[in-house]
Amino acid sequence: MKRWLAGLLAALVLASAGAPGADGVAMVLGEVIDRADLAPAAGEPARARRLWDLVWPRMARHYVEQNGLAVTEAETSEALAYHREFDRKDRAQRARKLEELDQRLAAADLNAEERAWLEEFQAVLRRMARRDADTDRLPPDPARKAARLAPWIEMWKLNQALFERYGGIVALTRFGPDPHGARAAMVADYERQGLLRFLDAPLRKAVLALLNARPALVVAPAEVDFTPYWKRPIPPSYFPDEVPRQVEKRE
């Protein structure tokens, strides 16, 4: 009898360890997020943003692991090769442009505004060349470069996978297309599965409002493309064929 009671007590203790307390605001994948974790955010919108910043990484990691989206060595090698080739072409373009600027500045027929603009451009390219030289003096560290690229590769894979599964509107950000609508649909899916529980109704409402707010920039459905940049052709020269002789007045 005593052994049975001891076993029951142990089971109750283990069960209660994973249960949310009075201060719990969400439970994601069995992990409780307490109200104290939202500090120092003040105000409902700020607390909702903070809560989402705590919930999303856990959901994303779970989705990556459950769907085999971890970055592979081959993917990292492909991205590294793209960056090496991009860097080679970038340096060659800048060297050609710097040579052209040197020749232009040697001419005597430049007005003051044109010369000032060209000298500013020349100074920028020279600084970039010095930076390249400093970088080349460092010992190569491919492992460090691969480690820095891995989170970006995983992000692109996750974003594409979420869009393919959940659809929804796609936001245009400086980091590329973002599956804005898919992320909100994923939250609803995880709630249905019991993988995510919001324990504070007002905070849940605020988080959902945040996720369902229309992005500032939206990609047209026909133009949605989650192909990562390292799988695209390297863009052509971003410098004009020649620096224009007539420099327009800049605001």
Residue 107, pLDDT above cutoff 90: no
What is the band of 7 on the pLDDT scale with cuts at 50, 70, 90?
very low
What residue has token string 């929804």?
168
- Percent of the chain at pLDDT > 70 equals 86
Can you give the pLDDT at residue 17? Answer: 43
Q: Which of 29, 34, 156, 135 is nearest to 90 (CA)?
A: 135
Please say whether the beta carbons of 218 and 148 come within 8 A: no
Can you give the pLDDT at residue 250? Answer: 41
Question: What is the average pLDDT value for the chain, to the nearest integer?
Answer: 88
Q: Which of 40, 37, 43, 74 is nearest to 57 (CA)?
A: 37
Q: How many whole angstroms separate alpha carbon 129 and alpha carbon 94? A: 8
In this prediction, residues 90-110 reach a mean pLDDT of 92
Please say whether the beta carbons of 217 and 171 come within 8 A: yes
Can you give the pLDDT at residue 108? Answer: 82
CA atoms within 13 A on the CB side of 141: 9
What is the band of 239 on the pLDDT scale with cuts at 50, 70, 90?
low
Q: Which residue has the higher pLDDT, 240 or 100?
A: 100
Can you give the pLDDT at residue 140? Answer: 87
Can you give the pLDDT at residue 122? Answer: 95
Can you give the pLDDT at residue 109? Answer: 87
Can you give the pLDDT at residue 86? Answer: 93
Domain limits, the chain: 73-142
Mapped onto helix, strand or coil, the DSSP state of residue 66 is helix
- Upstream peptide bond of 40 is cis (omega within 30 degrees of 0): yes
In this prediction, residues 130-152 reach a mean pLDDT of 93
Please write the tens of the pLDDT for every residue from 217-238: 999 999 999 999 999 999 887 6
Mapped onto helix, strand or coil, the DSSP state of residue 33 is strand
Can you give the pLDDT at residue 19? Answer: 55
Tokens of 77: 């090698």
CA atoms within 13 A on the CB side of 82: 17
Residue 52, pLDDT above cutoff 60: yes
- H, E, C per residue of 157-180: HHHHHHHHHHCCCEEEECCEEECH
